[in-house]
């Protein structure tokens, strides 16, 4: 369930997300149904990854019987540490899910140390 926040004169939803680390990358998946690529803004400012999206409102000519979806914008912020390479961030929107791939800097990746015998 997305968490609702009240912004100035607008309703903002913090989308649910999964985050994992694998293969020298941090992968985020955020559910943002109804948000098109054109209405999505992903940026890094200072040490923050900022994700904002605007969903097209659902206007009904009739009377709602059930209304569970909110006309709201999506917003989420993450603080980045110095292990993330800010020049290597990829974003793909697929089936209402935003997939972000953040690459770790080479110095931050685990290094295998060869054990030798004498």
Q: Which residue has the higher pLDDT, 5 or 50?
A: 50
pLDDT tens by residue, 16-66: 999 999 988 999 999 988 888 899 999 999 999 999 998 877 777 888 888
Tokens 């899910």 -> residue: 97
pLDDT tens by residue, 72-88: 888 999 999 999 999 99
Confidence of residue 103 (pLDDT cuts 50, 70, 90): very high
HEC sequence for the chain: CCEEEEECCEEEEECCEEEEEECCEEEEEEECCCEEEEEEEEEEECCEEEEEEEECCCCCCCCCCCCCCCCCEEEEEEECCCCEEEEEEEEEEECCEEEEEEEECHHHCCCCCCCCCC
Q: Which domains does the chain have, with CATH numbers?
A: 3-57+71-105 (2.60.40.790)
């Amino acid at each position: 369930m997305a968490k609702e926040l009240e912004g100035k004169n607008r309703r903002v939803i913090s989308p649910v997300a999964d985050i994992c680390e694998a293969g020298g990358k941090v992968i985020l998946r955020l559910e943002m149904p109804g948000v098109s690529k054109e209405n999505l803004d992903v940026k890094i400012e200072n040490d923050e990854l900022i994700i904002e999206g605007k969903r097209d409102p659902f206007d009904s000519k009739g009377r709602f019987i059930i209304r569970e979806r909110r006309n709201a914008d999506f917003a989420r912020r993450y603080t980045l540490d110095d292990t993330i390479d800010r020049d290597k961030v990829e974003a793909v929107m697929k089936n209402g899910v935003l997939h972000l791939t953040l690459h770790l800097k080479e110095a931050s990746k685990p290094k295998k140390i060869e054990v030798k015998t004498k």
